[in-house]
């Protein structure tokens, strides 16, 4: 069991990429952050656990060994059955283990199942319910709204909102005063990611649960929304100026030059600024100009 858990933790640390440089994991914890909403940090993955009168919803179990442990931890705070597993997106270090919750309905955006079906290294769960733009789960006295706004981190991105408790949940969208390593952002659409961050801020949450960060990430959410808005404005302005002069071909050189041209010294104290900012500009540039 120990070996299994250690290897799960290592896999999560690598897959989670929250601290790709040093693989440092936050300590495990399980706290009720608002009435009926819990934050379950285990092996570097923070799951939202929502307890209603009729059942329990959990997010992103990550891997089977972690899912098994979640069942035991949740049983200590409620005798309600785990009825729903809501997936934030298709990445394997989030979706794995969803099938461990026997009889629970696995919910994800409609783009998720085809990517899970491509998994060659890890067993992936079957998704029972898919949705297009929004999906709401009524757990009895408390509900979870899922929103898909487009391609964010992956193509089947969903953020979640618990309106009765003023909590939002998201995965792989931002880090606290840290730029995520570029290697992990290669299939992230920064235009979409910015939309998700702004949407969560507009929902005016009191708590923001973030999959690779412990505690209340509300300030980190707001700071990162502001950061992405600033990057978007600068990249948009550069392409607008070029394209208005020389049409689409005038934008091509910017794909190569912009990442090293934009500096934002006000973020120089953030972790991984030197490599991370050019990475974000590169992704924002491609997402705006190229669509991917």
Stretch that binds Zn ion, among 137-145, 146-154, 231-239, 277-285 (CB under 5 A): 146-154
Stretch in the footprint of Zn ion (CB under 5 A) among 18-26, 95-103, 129-137, 148-156: 148-156
Question: Element (H or E) spanning 143, and its range?
Answer: strand 143-147
By C-beta, is 104 or 115 nearer to Zn ion? 115
Query: Least distance to Zn ion from the beta carbon of 57, Å?
Result: 20
The count of chain residues that interact with Zn ion, using the rule CB under 5 A, is 3
SS3 165: coil
Instruction: For the chain, give percent helix, strand, coil, nearest 5.
Output: 40, 25, 35
Contact with Zn ion (CB under 5 A) among 60, 90, 172, 176: 172
84 vs 86: CA distance, rounded Å: 6
Applying CB under 5 A, among 153, 175, 176, 195 the residue interacting with Zn ion is 153
Q: Which stretch binds Zn ion (CB under 5 A): 2-10, 24-32, 167-175, 253-261?
A: 167-175
Shortest Å, Cβ 180 to Zn ion = 10
Pairing state between β 207-210 and 167-170? parallel
Does 176 contact Zn ion by CB under 5 A? Answer: no
Q: Give Cα separations from 92 to 51, 180, 189 (angstroms).
A: 25, 18, 18
Contact status: 60 vs Zn ion (CB under 5 A) = no
Residue 185 contacts Zn ion per CB under 5 A? no
Which residues, in sequence order, are bridge partners of residue 109? 131
- Closest C-alpha among 231, 247, 244 to residue 282: 231
- Binding residue (CB under 5 A) for Zn ion from 19, 66, 84, 91: 91
Encoded tokens for 150:
């487009």
Residues lying near Zn ion in the complex (CB under 5 A) are found at 91, 153, 172
């Amino acid at each position: 069991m120990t070996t299994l858990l250690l290897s799960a933790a290592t896999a999560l640390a690598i897959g989670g990429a929250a601290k790709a440089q040093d693989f440092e994991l936050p300590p495990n914890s399980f706290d009720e952050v608002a009435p009926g909403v819990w934050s379950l940090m285990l092996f570097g993955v923070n799951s939202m656990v929502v307890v209603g009168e009729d059942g329990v919803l959990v997010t992103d179990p990550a891997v089977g060994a972690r899912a098994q442990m979640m069942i035991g931890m949740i049983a200590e705070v409620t005798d309600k059955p785990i009825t729903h597993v809501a997936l934030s997106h298709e990445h394997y270090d989030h979706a794995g283990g969803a099938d461990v919750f026997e009889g629970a309905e696995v919910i994800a955006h409609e783009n998720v199942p085809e990517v899970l079906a491509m998994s060659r290294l890890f067993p992936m769960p079957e998704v029972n319910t898919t949705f297009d733009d929004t999906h709401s789960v009524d757990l009895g006295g408390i509900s979870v709204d899922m929103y898909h706004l487009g391609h964010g981190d992956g193509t089947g991105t969903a953020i979640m909102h618990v309106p009765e408790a003023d909590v939002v949940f998201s995965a792989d969208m931002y880090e606290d005063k840290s730029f995520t390593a570029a290697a992990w952002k290669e299939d992230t659409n920064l235009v979409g990611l910015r939309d998700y961050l702004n949407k969560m801020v507009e929902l005016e949450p009191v708590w923001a649960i973030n999959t690779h960060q412990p505690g209340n990430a509300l300030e980190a959410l707001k700071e990162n929304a502001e950061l992405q808005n600033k990057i978007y404005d600068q990249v948009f302005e550069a392409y607008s100026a070029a394209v208005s002069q020389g049409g689409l071909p005038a934008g091509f050189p910017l794909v190569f030059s912009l990442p090293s041209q934009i500096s934002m010294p006000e973020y120089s104290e953030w972790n991984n600024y030197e490599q991370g900012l050019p990475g974000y500009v590169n992704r924002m540039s491609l997402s705006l100009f190229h669509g991917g």
